[in-house]
Amino acid sequence: MICSHHNFFQNAPDLIPREIFPCCSVEGSEIKLISGPTHAGKTTFMSQVASNMVGVKIYIDFEDRQIPEPVSGDLQAIEETAAEIRKKETEDGEGRIFYFFDEIQNLQGWENWVDRLHRQGAEIYLTSSRSKLINEFSSRFSGRCKILRLFPFSFREYLQIKGNRIAEPNFLTPSSSDELLCMFLQYFENGGFPDVIKKDDISLSRKYFEEELKKGAAAGYDVQKLKKLVIFLISNMASEYSPDTLKKISGIESGELINTYLDYLEDIFLLYRVPKLNSLQESGKEKDVPCKIYAGDTGLFKAVYPGYPDSLGLRFENLVFLELLRREKQVFYFRNQRECDFIIKEKDSQKVSAAIQISVCFGNPAVMEREILGLTEAMDEYGLEEGLILTMDEEETIRVNGKNGKKIVMVKSVWKWMLE
């Protein structure tokens, strides 16, 4: 069951350092939970962490089907084995023990065991591909835990894996800008799953999708209904969904059951729901708030439904949404007389800090007017003096009239924004 650092951590291939925001530092003695989608690189990230550790490193993958369900005696044996390794590898037999546990949710009663190991002085890193574990983990280990959220590769990480130097966006030559735009378009098409990028094989995204459906079937969901539901939602990413439409498409007759399926898809990071901000106060009930659906990776669109008519603008919006999550923003959308794609609050804050509009065809005068009016209405609503429009490659500064005077609209190319 145990794989020590000799045959796992030290023999890991060359790795691309993952970008984790400063507030998600791996430093400190807290129990660390690395949470994110399957195949996003959580195990690899643990390898990177382990490479900087001095001590005994114990790794166990609790999703390994060859490992039987451990019982209390097996867990005790793991600790004894770790102690034996420490005795052999350290002069005084007192070196630090580091535990690295993959997919910890598959170990029944893991909380008490991990709690005991931590209280005994071990440093512990856990991974999970289930988002619901985040709240349970935070509650169980309040004050003694740290959550690290890992997503598919960002554009910056994509450039690193492709061997490109990351340049300062404001100091690019025209030829460098053209090259980076081409790289961005490739990233936009294939998404950010590490192996999809390394092998240039979008079919892997389809394989990952099928794996998640099998897990859903094992969890008791009707796999055909689940598949119809998720294909429809991914092919209509960045759009509001109607419960009645979802019932018709999936064959799931109950609205409550629809929500159960959506909860599951969000739990495995396949989809995200983003609420309409100015409806939270109106309804008073979170389940009654209109939502938009976003996919966990933009590469899923063509992988899951290659024959579906492409909506470039919606995939573009989905890409920006995922980058906002990487930056630990709380994301909403606004719609009153007009619509604004993203309303942003900072982590653990209730104050709106930014309004962002997404536009692939900003050069079109009618599109430009619509996007600016929607952004300005949101800026007026939340008292913002400056707004942002992200485009494929246009850049300018626009001054507009708001209800309370002049406002500034910054227009930026999305790939430069993603390099900031």
Which DSSP symbol is given to 165? -
Whether residue 107 is found in the same domain as residue 251: no
Whether residue 78 is found in the same domain as residue 180: no
- Chain position carrying tokens 């599109």: 367
Residue 175: predicted pLDDT: 86
Percent of the chain residues topping a pLDDT of 70: 88
Nearest to 169 by CA among 334, 395, 402: 395
pLDDT band at residue 22, thresholds of 50, 70 and 90?
very low
- Express each pLDDT in 383-408 by its tens digit: 999 999 999 989 999 999 988 889 99
Residue 23: predicted pLDDT: 46
Mention every residue, 6+ apart, whose C-beta is less than 8 A from residue 261: 221, 225, 226, 229, 250, 252
pTM of the model: 0.91
Q: Which of 149, 177, 208 is a domain's end point?
A: 149
Q: Is the pLDDT of residue 416 over 60?
A: yes
Whether residue 7 is found in the same domain as residue 117: yes
Whether residue 177 is found in the same domain as residue 303: no
**Average pLDDT over every residue of 146-172:** 87
Q: Which of 72-76, 231-235, 319-323, 374-378 has the lowest mean pLDDT?
A: 72-76
Compute the distance between CA of residue 297 and CA of residue 279 in angstroms, rounded to an integer: 27
How far from 258 is each of 14, 130, 220, 263, 320, CA to CA, in Å?
Answer: 43, 19, 14, 9, 27
133 near 110, Cβ under 8 Å? no
208 near 193, Cβ under 8 Å? yes
> CATH number of the domain that 106 lies in?
3.40.50
Compute the distance between CA of residue 139 and CA of residue 116 in angstroms, rounded to an integer: 16
Whether residue 203 is found in the same domain as residue 113: no
- Express each pLDDT in 327-385 by its tens digit: 999 999 999 999 999 999 999 899 999 999 999 989 899 999 999 999 999 999 999 99
Whether residue 257 is found in the same domain as residue 401: yes
Which DSSP symbol is given to 65? T
pLDDT band at residue 82, thresholds of 50, 70 and 90?
confident
Residue 285: predicted pLDDT: 55
Alpha-carbon dihedral sign for residues 192, 355, 316, 169: negative
Mention every residue, 6+ apart, whose C-beta is less than 8 A from residue 374: 334, 338, 339, 340, 357
Whether residue 22 is found in the same domain as residue 145: yes
Whether residue 174 is found in the same domain as residue 47: no
How far from 163 is each of 8, 176, 179, CA to CA, in Å?
Answer: 25, 14, 13
Whether residue 163 is found in the same domain as residue 125: no
Whether residue 234 is found in the same domain as residue 318: yes
Q: Which of 194, 225, 247 is a domain's end point?
A: 194
Whether residue 317 is found in the same domain as residue 395: yes
- Burial, 288: exposed, middle or buried (Cβ in 10 Å; 0-12, 13-18, 19+)? exposed
Compute the distance between CA of residue 399 and CA of residue 270 in angstroms, rounded to an integer: 39
Query: What residue type is assigned to position 59 of the chain?
Result: Y
Question: Which domain does 93 fall in, by range?
Answer: 3-149
Q: How many CB atoms lie within 10 A of CB 412?
A: 20
Whether residue 293 is found in the same domain as residue 329: yes
Task: Quickly list H helices, 294-392.
Answer: 300-304, 312-326, 365-382
Nearest to 383 by CA among 359, 368, 405: 405
Q: How many domains does the chain have?
A: 3
